[in-house]
Structure 1
Amino acid sequence: MIERAMALGREAEGMIRVLATISAEEGRLTRLYLTSEHRQAADLVGRWMTEAGLEVSEDTLGTVRGRLAPLPAMRNAVQRLLIGSHIDTVIDAGAYDGTFGVIAGILATREIIRKHGAMPFGIDVLAFGDEEGSRFPTTLLGSQSVAGRFDPAALQIESSDGVKLADALRLYGKDPDTIAPAAYEPGEAAAYVEVHIEQGPVLEEAGEGLGVVTAIASQGRYSVTVVGEAGHAGTVPMALRRDAFSACAEMALALESLARSHADDFMVGTIGKLNLSPGASNVIPARIVFTVDLRSQSDVRRVEAMNVLRAEFLAIAERRGVSVWIEQTHEAKAEPCDPSLQAGFAAAITAQGGKAIHLPSGAGHDAQSLAALCPIGMLFVRCRGGISHNPAEFTSIRDMGLAVTALIDFIEKFDPAEATRG
């Protein structure tokens, strides 16, 4: 079994390396939604799906789909197992986040075709284009459309370079008025499963290559604008300043303190992006726009914490003589993984000699969107040092191979009726 896993792992590594060459920047990996790099990656993934024996299509939001029909005797059955992840990246990314899940789905389904021809249920492998939200101030657009939850208002949001989503879709060759047909019909999807690197250190600490995800964390993203007053850096006394950046710095510490006080709930808070103006070394900052990312294992605790944080930001602004506006840009509720799908992945792990570690996901995933459509399950794969969203991101050939073989075993034993009952 290990020889088979190693062969599949080497194949996955080779595909990941090829995909990693598709980048908008020399010397680092950056592949954003609805760009020429997204187009190249989608075409390459579509070609791999075709070579694996899948029927390939692409919907309006740019999700590439590889479809395997069920056994001929079951062609009237509508239920399908969905397997997916994403092919977009953060800026200066690692090569494994998202892309390995797509590749694992392609390789596993190819092996199913070689061994069985088909299964009693259909299989769709999905390659989403917008999970990271690195270009537009939203995320999960492709998976939301597949789940029938796409909000048409999102078509008016603008990227950091001032391009509306609707216009970006047109430039990509899509018609924004044809998004609705991307959704699966009610009852069509039996389950959605996703293979993903852990992006954390738990599996490495446990000495195990694979783990079973129990739930995906609740997440809120916010845009915060602080407005003070510009002034000469040498002539305005400290006590008379309305420094937007100093207020922002105090707000950042308030966020850190709040998240630390909820450590028992795995709460984390991050300011990942900040724009400052006027941006001169000898001018007091007049305006700051920054992001807040707040996550928790509980929707209720996250919302309560954000209400506390909002009050603290307002108090800081009042003390410092600045103004502050807080706008929510994204929300994803905590989503539990289906018990039968967890059991299926646990059995697949133990069948190849591993120990099934169960753990929650602090990161958001396309599975959160699909939970509105069908039961969800996730298989985590160990990554070195728990590092992700970083060029140092790494998952071994062995662990990737074990993940693909576990996914094959899961598919072979998957029963749509069990997933539906939960």
Structure 2
Amino acid sequence: MTTMESRAARLMEQADILAGYSESRNELTRAYLTPQHRAAHDQLAVWMQQAGLETWQDSAGNQWGRKVAADPTLPVLILGSHSDTVINAGRYDGNLGVLLAIETLALLRDETFPFHIDVVAFADEEGTRFDTTLIGSAAVAGCFKPEWLDVADAQGITMAQAMRDFGLDPALAGSDARQPEETLAYLEVHIEQGPVLEAENLPVGVVTGIAGAKRFQCQLRGEAGHAGTVPVNYRHDALCGAAEMISCIEAFARQHEIVATVGKCEVMPGAVNVIPDDVRFTIDIRSLSQSQLERCTQVLFSRLENIAHQRQLQLDYENIYQAPAVLCDEKLQQLWASAVETVTRKPPHFLPSGAGHDALAMAELTDVGMLFVRCEKGISHHPAEQVLTEDVQVALDCLVTMVKGFAPGAGQ
């Protein structure tokens, strides 16, 4: 077994170890500021120190490691991903990117760079505990919102109290944000969470950008009635209206080459012999083009309102979440492409990300570049999430090559 093969195998073992830091024995769940989260960061700090890095925890609970350079005045290159998980998660989403970054600097331990290189395990990307995503990376990028401190979890514990329990001072959250002039770039390796690379039979791909997203909570109201006595032509059935809208949403997404999803739907009163008079459902709309996202959202809701009008139903909706589309820096894309071609000896494949990542927040601070790693059947956010050891080896080779590529022009 070669050195790179053994290192990739060790990364897979480390991912298994991290998966043991979970709130449940039967599934992997590791939420922001929990004891299990603390234990995982303690383990990551040990691995960072073994790689020769200086370690610390910042004001939001992110875990850092630094390969120190002789000149502390130059901008810092940041590598990383997130350490938290969704409920009943897979073991590679986020975590693999952190482990790859640590192992990259372990490989480069004896090489000198004219700038610091930091590895970060962002503390909250998923929003599992407080329904607020990108807390860790937002704090680093200078986008931490003080009102988040008042948000409570399902047990009524506020984020501020959770920070205190974790050993942090909520009054300082985000106070140590990085500045653009001191940051060279942010690089993230992440599993694809989609089927494209597997379909193309490729181990890795270069990310072109992260899709913008809008989420809406919708309520469609009609009129309840007896299922046996009200003729169909006299009904104002909210569920039938919602069904037509859902079909419209699917057709519209196909026609305009966006993605749109109705992920939740509640029907009331929910009785077998009563015509539904109240349906509440969500819509998630995404596009890599922000202008297309805005335009399609407007047109789609115009069509939904028309369906409601034709059926004499009342449609109300509220925008509950939005994140802008972020394009990866073109120069970083080309550097990634060059690294992929060098390692795989194949033309690089470029693809967008439909999922959000910490790079979304970090783009507020600096240029971002991402590499995707193939995952089996595109399954993610699920225990069946799986990657190949040989693909991890390719990703490690690519990240090492990418970091080395920064050295020649870093001091210019």
Q: Tell me how far apart the structure 2 counterparts of residues 196 and 268 of structure 1 sit (CA, whole Å).
A: 21
Given the alignment, which residue of 118, 122, 127 partners 1:128? 122
Counterpart of 1:133 in 2: which secondary structure?
A: coil
Indicate the residue corresponding to 1:369 in structure 2.
Answer: 361
From the superposition, tell whether residues 92 and 274 of structure 1 become closer, same or farther in structure 2 (CA, over 3 Å): farther
TM-score (norm 1): 0.86
Q: Using the TM superposition, name which of 310-319 and 252-261 deviates more.
A: 310-319
From the superposition, tell whether residues 321 and 351 of structure 1 become closer, same or farther in structure 2 (CA, over 3 Å): same
- Structure 1 segment 294-309 matched on structure 2, within 5 A: 294-309=285-300
Q: Tell me how far apart the structure 1 counterparts of residues 228 and 270 of structure 2 sit (CA, whole Å).
A: 15
Indicate the residue corresponding to 2:345 in structure 1.
Answer: 354
C-alpha deviation, 1:170, in angstroms? 4.0
Q: Tell me how far apart the structure 2 counterparts of residues 236 and 128 of structure 1 sit (CA, whole Å).
A: 56
Q: Using the TM superposition, name which of 301-310 and 23-32 deviates more.
A: 23-32
- Structure 1 segment 47-126 matched on structure 2, within 5 A: 47-70=46-69, 72=70, 74-75=71-72, 77-113=73-109, 115-116=110-111, 118-126=112-120
Indicate the residue corresponding to 2:28 in structure 1.
Answer: 29
Indicate the residue corresponding to 1:384 in structure 2.
Answer: 376
Q: Tell me how far apart the structure 2 counterparts of residues 212 and 130 of structure 1 sit (CA, whole Å).
A: 24
Contact 2:344–2:394 (8 Å) recurs in 1: no
From the superposition, tell whether residues 154 and 277 of structure 1 become closer, same or farther in structure 2 (CA, over 3 Å): farther
Q: Tell me how far apart the structure 1 counterparts of residues 313 and 36 of structure 2 sit (CA, whole Å).
A: 41
C-alpha deviation, 1:316, in angstroms? 3.8
C-alpha deviation, 1:387, in angstroms? 2.2
Given the alignment, which residue of 148, 171, 174 partners 1:180? 174
Q: Tell me how far apart the structure 2 counterparts of residues 283 and 39 of structure 1 sit (CA, whole Å).
A: 50
Give deviations 1:67-100, integer Å, cap 9, x for gaps. 2221x2x13x241110111122223322211110
Q: Tell me how far apart the structure 2 counterparts of residues 10 and 27 of structure 1 sit (CA, whole Å).
A: 24
C-alpha deviation, 1:14, in angstroms? 0.4
Paired residue type of 1:413:
G
Contact 2:113–2:407 (8 Å) recurs in 1: no
Give deviations 1:122-169, integer Å, cap 9, x for gaps. 011111122223333332121111111223333444546655444443
Q: Tell me how far apart the structure 2 counterparts of residues 341 and 255 of structure 1 sit (CA, whole Å).
A: 35
Contact 2:62–2:121 (8 Å) recurs in 1: yes
1:144 aligns with 2:143: no
C-alpha deviation, 1:229, in angstroms? 6.2
Counterpart of 1:327 in 2: which secondary structure?
A: strand
1:408 aligns with 2:408: no
Q: 5+ residue gaps in structure 2?
A: none
Q: Percent identity?
A: 43
C-alpha deviation, 1:348, in angstroms? 2.1
Contact 1:139–1:330 (8 Å) recurs in 2: no
Paired residue type of 2:103:
L
Q: Tell me how far apart the structure 2 counterparts of residues 214 and 326 of structure 1 sit (CA, whole Å).
A: 32
| CA RMSD between the two structures | 2.9
Indicate the residue corresponding to 1:325 in structure 2.
Answer: 316
C-alpha deviation, 1:187, in angstroms? 0.8
Paired residue type of 1:148:
G
Paired residue type of 1:108:
T
C-alpha deviation, 1:66, in angstroms? 1.4
Paired residue type of 2:37:
H
Q: Tell me how far apart the structure 1 counterparts of residues 100 and 189 of structure 2 sit (CA, whole Å).
A: 7
C-alpha deviation, 1:284, in angstroms? 5.8
Paired residue type of 1:314:
E
Q: Tell me how far apart the structure 2 counterparts of residues 235 and 136 of structure 1 sit (CA, whole Å).
A: 46
Q: 5+ residue gaps in structure 1?
A: none
Q: Using the TM superposition, name which of 242-251 and 126-135 deviates more.
A: 242-251
Q: Tell me how far apart the structure 1 counterparts of residues 211 and 387 of structure 2 sit (CA, whole Å).
A: 23
